[in-house]
Structure 1
Amino acid sequence: MNVLLPIFLLILVGYVFRRTGVVELSFWPQAEKATYYIFFPALLLSNLSTASFGEQPALTMAGAMITGVVAVSGIALFLQSRFRMPGPAFSSIFQGSIRMNTYVGIAAASAMAGSPGVTLSAVALVATIPLVNFLSVPVVSHYGAGNISSLRAILAALAKNPLILGSVGGFALNYTHIQLPDALYEMLHLLGRAALPVGLLTVGAGLNFRHIAPQKYRILLAASLKLMLLPAVTILACRLYNVPTPADVVAVLFASLPTAVSCYILARQLGGDEDLMASIITAQTVIAFVTLPVALYLVD
């Protein structure tokens, strides 16, 4: 799909910049931190604070998406209990199984359904962003190199996670109808626009294609869970909950997206396998060119 091509090209640009030395090596760690602590939270806060839900079937659509994410999370954790993969590797597989590139989803939904698609995208954001972060942060913290295992440490990690803070803050502003001053909102909007390109460049900068072949089975496992199982469960849930069109199409669209760029940032920050994570992101971006249209066809 054309909407995915610029993403893959930006990853390649980051890879070329890092390998050719066009940008100083000291730039990339700072870019990662800025993306994780500033750009992505600003994107979430500005998007969610102004989302308009109107008469859309928010509850049934959200329920279908939540069902899919929870089911795949449970299956991933079950597989880990049986096969005992290395902790950091599993944490990256877990993220790659449930997280989605929501920015791409908004663009695709808008192109497919116009203004109603954007509104339904807001429903998808509210339903999934807090959930996948509340699931991912404890898993990556526990299984990552940091090995944060106590309940207090996990709760502290959740409370300080900038992605969760951005999601909760945006939803709170929306729910209470508190409007940010125009200048402040525009500042957050501009910062949020930097999230996707800078995040993609940092993914490319950390990418090493030599890691793909040795970990191809783990990459394929994450891709199977994310690009095949999650859309399939979401389609079944949409039919079970009688989610109407176009809400069911947008729900399946978001379930079928390649995993989020922010997975790489979270893996770097909390001790996950960032090389595997970068490979999963890149591989899913390519594979989604085939699987996403198939999933959308099946939901009709």
Structure 2
Amino acid sequence: MLGVLAGFFVVWVIIGSGWFIARKNLLGEGAQGVLSRLSFFVASPALLLETLSKADLRSIFSTHLLVIMVSSVAVGLVSIAVFRWVRRRDLPESLIASMSSSVANAANLGIPISVFVLGDASYVAPLLIFQLALFTPSYLLMLDGTTATAKPGAARALQFVLPVVTNPNIIGSMIGLVLAATGWKLPDLIAQPIHLIGGASIPAILIAFGISLHGSRPLRADDGRRTDTLIATSLKLVLHPLIAYFFARFALGLDGHALFAGVVTAALPTAQNVYVAAQRYQHGLVVAKDTVLITTVVAVPAMAVMAALLS
């Protein structure tokens, strides 16, 4: 428990540093974007490559992946039902709200949480691959089918395939998995630069997140979606980890660190690309934006509470 709390403390100190940097405007207006792009396109792929190349594949693609898949799909279906038939939202907005409740921030916060709290970045790899290769494209296909944005033929297929095969984190993960499966080791002249570049991932992510917190004000009454945002937030931070816990504990018989890893992974905040999808389809913009912000702020203390309960 002390180790877990120490991990959370490290995360919050770095996030606080980012907030202080933004408050004093030490890095200028574009700092958040630069740090986020550095992490997404360069440092995080290097970290995932190095970590997965040394990982046990049986531990990655095992019960942990099953917990992720079942809990994500279950909370997604529940949230669609809530927003479509209880809140009476149209189907595209219900789908965006469902994404807000079930699609987790696997890269930007998943990686540092996995490293500092779970002790190994490989815990986030199954979530990253599942969401990018299957879960998120499924939502986008449904949004295409309910809006006027669908493309014909091959163009439509490329619309979903290209974001997966060109995602730097997927590429880094796949190279790492190939190395782990084959037992190949990179030469030191290549491995050392990858190690050093990957080391920039976590501080860049967390500082960028801290910068983003400065001046943000969610849940404005005049947006008209305050209740929807609170529902989506509750589904993401309460129902999602609860489903993961009950499935992992009673269906799979997991306990100890394996159980904790499944619950923490499910409790990760809403992914920022949910807001990107809302902008693309012009539905659910307020719920997506506010849920991303609130869950990102609340997720870390919520995970600390989960750690205390599971200890």
Q: Which of 26, 35, 39 in structure 2 is aligned with 1:35?
A: 39
SS of 1:210 mapped into structure 2: coil
CA distance in structure 1 between the partners assigned to 2:95 and 2:20 by the alignment: 28
Alignment map for 1:1-300 (pairs within 5 Å)? 1-53=5-57, 59-82=62-85, 83-84=88-89, 91=96, 94=99, 97-99=102-104, 100=106, 101-110=110-119, 118=120, 122=122, 124-134=123-133, 135-136=135-136, 139=139, 149-150=150-151, 151-152=156-157, 153-207=159-213, 208-212=215-219, 214=221, 217-238=227-248, 239-243=250-254, 245-256=256-267, 258-259=268-269, 263-264=271-272, 267=275, 271=279, 275-276=289-290, 277-294=292-309, 296-297=310-311
Query: CA 1:130–1:57 in 2, change beyond 3 Å: closer, same or farther?
Result: closer
- Residue identity opposite 1:251 in structure 2: G
How far 1:270 moved relative to its partner? 8.8
How far 1:131 moved relative to its partner? 0.7
- TM-score for both structures, normalised by structure 1: 0.75
Matched-pair contact (CA < 8 Å) for 2:11–2:206: yes
Larger mean CA deviation between 272-281 and 87-96 belongs to 87-96
Name which one, 1 or 2, has greater alpha-carbon Rg: 2
CA distance in structure 1 between the partners assigned to 2:289 and 2:45 by the alignment: 24
CA distance in structure 2 between the partners assigned to 1:227 and 1:67 by the alignment: 16
CA distance in structure 2 between the partners assigned to 1:5 and 1:85 by the alignment: 41
CA distance in structure 1 between the partners assigned to 2:16 and 2:90 by the alignment: 29
Aligned residues: 281
How far 1:92 moved relative to its partner? 7.9
Identity %: 18
CA distance in structure 1 between the partners assigned to 2:40 and 2:21 by the alignment: 20
- Residue identity opposite 2:194 in structure 1: L
SS of 1:3 mapped into structure 2: helix
- TM-score for both structures, normalised by structure 2: 0.73
CA distance in structure 1 between the partners assigned to 2:30 and 2:11 by the alignment: 23
Per the alignment, residue 113 of structure 1 pairs with none
Root-mean-square deviation over aligned CA pairs: 3.7
Larger mean CA deviation between 86-95 and 170-179 belongs to 86-95
CA distance in structure 2 between the partners assigned to 1:41 and 1:284 by the alignment: 24
Query: CA 1:10–1:91 in 2, change beyond 3 Å: closer, same or farther?
Result: farther
CA distance in structure 1 between the partners assigned to 2:262 and 2:13 by the alignment: 26
Query: CA 1:94–1:265 in 2, change beyond 3 Å: closer, same or farther?
Result: closer
Matched-pair contact (CA < 8 Å) for 1:141–1:148: no
- Residue identity opposite 1:188 in structure 2: I
Larger mean CA deviation between 39-48 and 28-37 belongs to 28-37
Query: CA 1:282–1:245 in 2, change beyond 3 Å: closer, same or farther?
Result: closer
